Structure 1
Amino acid sequence: MLAGRFVVGFSTNLVIVIDHAFKPIWFKEDLPLAIAIDIGFSRTGGALAILLPQLIYDSLSIFHSPTFRLGASLLTAAGFMIIGLIFALIVFFMDFLREKTATKVSKPEPVSILNHFKQFPLKFWLIMAVNVTYLPLMYTVVGIAQVFFIQKYGLSTDMANLANGLLFGSAVILIPIAGYLISKIGFHLYWLLTALVTTTLPPLLIFAFSNEESYLPFVAAVFYSLSYTLCGPSFIAMIPLIVEKRYLGTAYGIQRGSYSATYSLMSYIAGLIVDTIGYFVLQSFFIHIILLCIDFTLIMVFLDAASDNPILNVPASWLRRKYGQIKDKKSSQ
């Protein structure tokens, strides 16, 4: 079982890294929209992955053997993985045709991993600083929110689960809209800054109001969902803007690996704080982390504004002109 979970976790992270590295090649001007649609489908798939196995297991109640019912549920999951493999092969074939019809394909230069790290600018590492603080915090909130809502506000298990599900559930609908707006407007850092400021509101609301306000978990979940909606498309789309195409795999590998490591650590720290000190200190801890993320983002805003070639916080029309010039230059070669 442990080996199986390791393989599933490793392959899942590998698929996410490859998926993110593919998108900037296919979707340049509309990259935030493509990322937003991807996040929306992944959240939907994650919800179905949680709900469907139990539904399939319960629907096979005519079979009295629990082993058979469990095996049928796992085989259904394996069938969906095979469908995903078929889609991956289709994408591989489409990308092969795209590279084959390209005007000029440069041979990759043999570069060591250390040289890859040297190519990343300061703004990339600031993005990684936000990555290892903000995103793990959001998922840690989801992990502990249900029990917190039950203990602090006296919600039933079903209502607490509903409030907790709003965090990612409403984002499924809102993220494509946010991705479209970011693609058309630009200014990625301002969107990220807005998302971070929005994240500070739920803990402050929980601080300000008493335990009798049973609607607060739903309000907090909506704010968290709005923050996640604005952060996802703008955050992931910034990496291809400052990292060369041949280093994108390494960049997204760093992004995913650092997130997974920090999420494990933050989950442990959050559980330790809850068990030893309480939720009040945990909320203060979360607020300080968000303020740290805001500081990192403001530094990026100042660095980009002072740069001779600003690219993270510019209008979308400017980026479209830039990509158009690159496309014209390649076609003329």
Structure 2
Amino acid sequence: MKEEETKYLLSKDSEEILVTVENRKCGICDPTRFAHRMVILTLMSFLSFGPGFCTDTPAALHDQIVEKLNIDEATFMGFYSWYSWPNMIMCLVGGYLIDRYIGVRLGGIIFAGLVLAGHCIFALGAAVRLVWVMDAGRFVFGVGCETLSIVQNTYSVLWFKTSDLSLVFGLQMSMRMIAETINLNVQLPIYNAITETNFPGDTLGITLFIASFSCIISFTCAIVLAYLDKRAEKLTNREKHDGTQIHLTDIKKFPIQIWIIYVIGLAVNVSLVTFTGLGVAYFEQKFGVSPATSHALNSLLYFLAIPMPPLLGFIVDVTGYHVYWILLAMVFCMLGLGFMTFTHLTPWIGAVLLSLSFSLWYSPLYALIAFIVPFHKLATAYGFMGSVLNLCAAVMAQISGLIVDSGGYFMFGIFVCAWSSMAMIFTIILYFVDVVKDSQLNISAKERMHKISDIGDNESVISDSATKED
């Protein structure tokens, strides 16, 4: 590199590094520029496109799969069980592997590859009419899918910890919802179009293989993102952690704030996700609405989750006070479930309130994890959260079914209201713990910017020195 072709940039620790003049002139090429960060954000968002598109592919082609394979509903639901059950452990294991051994860049490529391979195995099993092959495909897909979301969260903190973190989490949530919505609306038309063309070959298998192109998009984004992140690390002399490695026993040393956040995530996930799982039948039985109206009410939560999370995440980033925003989300959740359980007012009121809660709780809660846990432990922390939520999804769905069978939908309403109350209580507990320990989780955006700038990127923002066990 010629001397006249270079100039100096100062890294955070005032060390001089070389960046080409061409990179400085081209905003997209310069890792310190806004345009380059937008490229990174786009790639990160599309990491979840393939998983989001293919996760509910069985539901989009439910009748066709049941008919072609001649299976019962229990066998069909096994495609979701093979997806969920392993991730009660694999999320934690995957996060630990990222932190300890493979890193976020290689982890992204590996787990995006598992997503692609898993769905292709699922499609192959459908084409040859072997259910066990399809189950194996869903197992591999689930391991890759849930762990890839940990990679996505870790990348988000790496690039956007100092600003816009809640907005980024909101955009990622929206992208997944967009992918799920597209899948539910295009898979059947694609199947019907292939059937009408009399294309030689298995229609179901071909349709599922076409869906795998969405996974190719995510896999490609993982490769490009790994290259750009490696390049940015070299050009900006990004500060690395001091070499301290995480051990699984370190999970026991997480500060109490992180455990409270896990309980909040579990409780609100039970409240919202479990309710929507039985929402269609609930609206029909409780309010006597038509099937079309009940589907519209239940779908409202997901439709609003497309535009609302980025907007609400932006507001959280601008204002700060993350705990207050989580508390507001819990208020919306309790009011929505309370309206539908204890009144006979129009269910649209409760549905809108639940939609607001669903769109608001995720971004500030996940951002707080990044403010508490040092970066070299972050994937493990997010992985543990993923394991908790997958445990919730696998167990609570069955418990909810038993409650409905034995006590009816009113008792089911009380059940989800109790969980939303728990989420509210633990959010209040988090607020008081934050005050007592002066961990400054609930501070303004301006104060947080000053705090992050005073602390290395690889340290937790939490100020209680007792939590810095390393």
Instruction: Please report the RMSD computed on the Cα atoms of aligned residues, expressed in angstroms.
Output: 2.1
Q: Structure 1 stretches of 5 or more lacking a match?
A: none
1:101-112 alignment to 2 at 5 Å? 101-103=235-237, 104-106=239-241, 108-112=243-247
1:324 aligns with 2:453: yes
The 2-side partners of 1:78 and 1:156 are apart by 35
The offset of 1:152, in angstroms, is 2.4
Q: How does the TM-score come out when normalised to structure 2?
A: 0.66
Q: How do residues 133-282 of structure 1 correspond to structure 2 at under 5 angstroms?
A: 133-210=267-344, 216-282=346-412
Higher relative contact order at CA 8 Å, sep ≥6: structure 1 or structure 2?
Answer: 1
CA distance in 2, matches of 1:69, 1:142: 31
In 1, the alpha carbon distance for the partners of 2:363 and 2:440 equals: 16
Q: Any conservation in 1 of the 2:164–2:317 contact (CA below 8 Å)? A: yes
Asked whether 1:14 is paired with 2:14, we answer no
Q: Using the TM superposition, give the Cα deviation of residue 173 of structure 1 relative to its aligned residue in structure 2, in angstroms.
A: 1.3
Match of 1:311 in 2: 440
What is the rounded CA distance, in whole Å, between the counterparts of 1:66 and 1:194 in structure 2? 55
Query: Residue 75 of structure 1: SS of its match in structure 2?
Result: helix
Larger Rg: 2
- Aligned equivalents of 2:247, 2:339: Cα separation in 1: 49
Q: Paired residue for 1:87? A: 221
Question: 2:392, 2:240 → 1: CA distance?
Answer: 38
The corresponding residue for 2:466 is: none
Q: Give the Cα separation in 2 of the matches to 1:307 and 1:144.
A: 40
Alignment match, 2:192: 58
Unaligned runs of 5+ in 2: 1-133, 460-470
CA deviation after TM superposition for structure 1 residue 199, in Å: 0.7
- Tell me the residue number matched to 2:60: none
**Does the C-alpha gap of structure 1 residues 190 and 30 become closer, same or farther in structure 2, counting only changes over 3 Å?**
same
Report if the CA contact (8 A) 1:63-1:69 is conserved. Answer: no
Task: Please tell me the residue identity of whatever aligns with 1:7.
Answer: V
Question: 1:6, CA displacement in angstroms?
Answer: 1.2
Structure 2 SS opposite 1:311: coil
User: Following the alignment from structure 2 to structure 1, what is the Cα–Cα distance between the partners of residues 327 and 419?
Assistant: 14
Aligned-partner residue type, residue 113 of structure 1: L
Contact 1:191 1:234 in 2 (8 A): yes
Structure-2 separation of matches of 1:75 and 1:208 = 47
Q: Is the 8 A contact 2:171 2:309 kept in 1?
A: yes
Deviations 1:196-245 (A, max 9, x none): 111111232224433xx5xx232221110101122011111110101000
How far off its partner does 1:274 sit?
A: 0.5
Range 222-231 or range 55-64, more displaced: 55-64
What is the CA distance between 1:13 and its match in structure 2? 0.5
* Deviation readout 1:140-171 (Å, 9 max, x if unpaired): 11110011112222322222111111012112
> Separation in 2 of the partners of 1:137 and 1:221?
13
1:272 and 1:186 map into 2 onto residues whose CA distance is 41
For residues 241 and 66 of structure 1, do their structure 2 counterparts lie closer, same or farther at Cα, with a shift above 3 Å needed? Answer: farther
What is the identity, as a one-letter code, of the residue corresponding to 2:136?
A: A
Q: Tell me how far apart the structure 1 counterparts of residues 278 and 260 of structure 2 sit (CA, whole Å).
A: 27
Residue 419 of structure 2 is aligned to residue 284 of structure 1: no
- Identical aligned residues as a percent: 28
Equivalent residues of 1:33, 1:176 under 8 A apart: yes
- The answer as to whether partners of 2:434 and 2:441 remain within 8 angstroms in 1 is yes
Separation (CA, whole Å) in 2 of partners of 1:66 and 1:124 = 55
